[in-house]
Amino acid sequence: MKLLRVGPQGAERPAMLDADGALRDLSGVLSDISAATLAPAELARLRALDPTSLPRLDAPGRIAPPWSGMGKFICVGLNYADHAAEAGMPLPEEPILFMKPPSCAIGARDAVVLPQGSSKSDWEVELGVVIGRRARYVSEAQALDHVAGYCVVNDLSERAYQLERGGTWDKGKGCDTFGPVGPWLVTSDEVADPQDLTLWLDLNGRRMQTGNTRTMVFGVAQLLSYISRFMTLYPGDLISTGTPPGVGMGIKPAPVFLRPGDQLRLGIAGLGEQTLQVHAWSEALLGD
């Protein structure tokens, strides 16, 4: 299934895509796609529906983050060897973990708003892993049983804040609008192998990133098992699994960073695409 939420902020309605790519309204079946909806029994209930029996949504408007109630937005750094090389950083012996606040999450076509004083904001296309069952000290063999589905994530990063102002990476990662998610959540039964997905990102029509999840340093099952030893994972938690090479700070001879008016288009095979416009700081674009 491909699950999504559509409509203005605070008034989103649940929906799914049918086999022909038509949008179907789920609001007669459930009030929202929430963290609770991602539990195996709830997904099985939705999977049993005949999508063609649901009303079509022909003009859905805004596409919101695919689910509400995200508890944790966990990220993995330097998880592609060639990205670590372009960043000039050693390959990690264990996964590098950091957090983005859920407040940075936006939809796949929402405005990206540069923070005040931004000079080195950057892009990162990543595979997102959405938890559907509580995971605590799970084995690698059992890890994927705890996944509700997968989605596209753009781990936007203000590099000056992240790397030049001391402390942890989080201050450059959690800016408002710096976590585009979606357009939809694809349930795990439709992803045959999360370690064989092509990722890509274009800036103003120019291909910047191309990669495949098979080149991850630490795979999805390994990451989920590892993270579950440091924190309990709950339905609705999101793990963003790292980015392939081609980010702005790695461009030679001179890095390239985001500027107002830039257009980002990115996607993962089978998981949909994001189309994002970059804006200068504006309180009005941030919503509530």
Per-residue confidence (pLDDT) for residue 161, from 0 to 100: 92
What are the residues facing 219 on neighbouring strands? none
Distance of alpha carbon 277 from alpha carbon 220, whole angstroms: 30
Q: Is 268 in contact with 183 (CB distance < 8 Å)?
A: no
pLDDT in tens, 2-14: 999 999 998 999 9
Give the mean model confidence (pLDDT) for residues 34-59.
95
Which of the 8 DSSP states describes residue 233? B
Length in residues, the chain: 288
| Angle, CA 81 vertex, CA 95 and CA 271 arms, to 5° | 80
pLDDT in tens, 216-265: 999 999 999 999 999 999 999 999 999 999 999 999 899 999 999 999 99
pLDDT in tens, 155-191: 999 999 998 887 778 888 999 999 999 999 999 999 9
Q: Shortest CA distance to 198 belongs to which of 270, 108, 105, 282?
A: 270
| pTM for the structure as a whole | 0.96
Residue identified by tokens 């690698």 is 140
Residue identified by tokens 């998610």 is 181
**What's the CATH number of domain 73-282, 3.40.50.150, 3.90.850.10, 2.40.50.140, 3.30.70.260?**
3.90.850.10
| Domain limits, the chain | 2-64, 73-282
Per-residue confidence (pLDDT) for residue 85, from 0 to 100: 78
Q: Shortest CA distance to 70 belongs to which of 50, 49, 99, 46?
A: 99
